[in-house]
């Protein structure tokens, strides 16, 4: 009888645990908080222009990057253009777009508050590089005759390869080919010792949540350690990619500047993991050569700009408010 009671209690305990974790797993899947297959938020559409590849859909209101993304009729993340005001356009990648923040928390939205006599349009698109930015400006922005342009540079903009939307509207990097999904479980700490890690990584939404938290925390710790090292040594790593792609970047920037308004500002956004000391000097020279005033936000933030709690790269709403104020003062409008 004692053994039977023990077996029943163990069975009940195991059943309770399975129901508990099974319930969490079901909630994560049914609510879409975790998507197991390859997925891109439904905010993009293909572009017929091969130098653009993809762009934001016009007139959408969709959940993406933990917030609601709303665009106007031109596919910009701003209200419709107010033709009674002079137009100022913010161009760039996910930093300018406002990854992880609401429409009213983006850099453009904060600038709109500071410059109410202007119409500020957010033409940033996640994943864009200078090639796409120059092509988008030529096709969609130049015809609007903007009076001022803010070009926001982040340090992956030198990669000129273009991502593309496949037949399922999943954004793929250049050179991607279909292949069987490989598991990549947590390899460190207690979670790196549990059995069935590979199976869980491929099939468990709960495991994916835990893995994302652990990996983000580890990446943040590594970032902070590198920040301290670079500040202490006043040293940064100049990448070969920067040297190789600088000429191509300058070419695309010259194409953009040939169509840009006289009032133009080149904003260097801080990289959370690198000071880019030498690169910044060269970029400032190139930008000035192409008629841009230059604002180096490293001079204000160093490489310690506050980022989102769940993302160690993109700026927090508070950081975007601070950056908008600095940019506003640099514009002098």
Structure confidence by residue, pLDDT tens digits, 149-166: 999 999 988 888 899 999
Can you tell me the distance from the alpha carbon of 172 to that of 122, in angstroms, rounded to the nearest whole number? 24
Considering 121-130, 211-220, 303-312, the range whose residues carry the highest mean pLDDT is: 121-130
Can you tell me the distance from the alpha carbon of 262 to that of 278, in angstroms, rounded to the nearest whole number? 27
User: 130-139, 202-211, 255-264 — which is least confidently predicted?
Assistant: 202-211
**What pLDDT band is residue 201 in, cutting at 50, 70 and 90?**
low
User: 2-6, 38-42, 279-283, 301-305 — which is least confidently predicted?
Assistant: 2-6
**Helical residues (DSSP H) of 58-184, grouped into ranges:** 94-97, 107-114, 130-136
The pLDDT score that the predictor gives to residue 29 is 52
The pLDDT score that the predictor gives to residue 187 is 72
- Burial of 119 per CB tally in 10 Å (0-12, 13-18, 19+): buried
| C-beta of residue 297 within 8 angstroms of C-beta of residue 252 | no
**What pLDDT band is residue 28 in, cutting at 50, 70 and 90?**
very low
**Helical residues (DSSP H) of 31-54, grouped into ranges:** none
Computed over every residue of the chain, the mean pLDDT equals 83
**Token pair in block for residue 173:** 């990097």
Per-residue pLDDT for 209 more than 70? no
Per-residue pLDDT for 310 more than 90? no
Say what percent of the chain tops pLDDT 90.
Answer: 58
Mean pLDDT of 111-136: 97
For the chain, give me the number of helices (H) and strands (E)?
Answer: 10, 11
Mean pLDDT of 68-87: 97
CA triple 143-100-210, angle to 5 deg:
150
Per-residue pLDDT for 100 more than 70? yes
* C-alpha 44 chain-centroid distance: 14
**What pLDDT band is residue 278 in, cutting at 50, 70 and 90?**
confident
Per-residue pLDDT for 1 more than 70? no
């Amino acid at each position: 009888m004692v053994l039977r009671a023990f077996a029943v209690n163990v069975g009940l305990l195991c059943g309770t645990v399975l129901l508990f974790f099974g319930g969490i797993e079901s909630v994560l899947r049914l609510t879409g908080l975790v998507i197991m297959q390859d997925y891109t938020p439904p905010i993009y559409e293909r572009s017929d222009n091969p130098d653009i590849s993809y762009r934001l859909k016009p007139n959408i209101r969709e959940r993406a990057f933990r917030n609601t993304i709303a665009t106007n009729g031109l596919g910009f993340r701003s209200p419709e253009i107010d033709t009674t005001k002079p137009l100022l356009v913010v161009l760039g990648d996910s930093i300018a777009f406002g990854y992880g923040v609401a429409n009213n928390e983006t850099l453009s939205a904060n600038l709109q508050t500071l410059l109410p006599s202007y119409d500020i349009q957010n033409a940033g698109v996640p994943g864009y590089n200078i090639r796409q930015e120059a092509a988008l400006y030529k096709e969609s922005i130049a015809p609007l005759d903007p009076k001022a342009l803010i070009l926001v540079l982040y340090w992956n903009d030198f990669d000129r390869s273009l991502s593309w939307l496949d037949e399922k509207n999943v954004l793929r990097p250049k050179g991607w080919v279909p292949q069987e999904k490989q598991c990549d479980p947590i390899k460190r700490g207690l979670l790196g010792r549990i059995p069935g890690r590979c199976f869980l990584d491929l099939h468990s939404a709960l495991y994916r949540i835990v893995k994302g938290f652990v990996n983000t925390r580890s990446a943040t710790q590594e970032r902070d350690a590198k920040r301290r090292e670079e500040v202490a040594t006043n040293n940064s790593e100049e990448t070969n990619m920067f040297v190789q792609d600088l000429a191509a970047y300058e070419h695309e920037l010259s194409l953009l500047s040939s169509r840009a308004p006289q009032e133009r500002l080149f904003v260097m956004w801080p990289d959370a993991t690198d000071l880019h000391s030498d690169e910044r000097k060269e970029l400032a020279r190139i930008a000035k050569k192409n008629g841009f005033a230059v604002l180096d936000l490293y001079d204000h933030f160093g490489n310690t700009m506050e980022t989102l709690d769940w993302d160690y790269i993109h700026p927090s709403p508070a950081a975007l408010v601070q950056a908008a104020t600095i940019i506003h003062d640099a514009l002098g409008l």
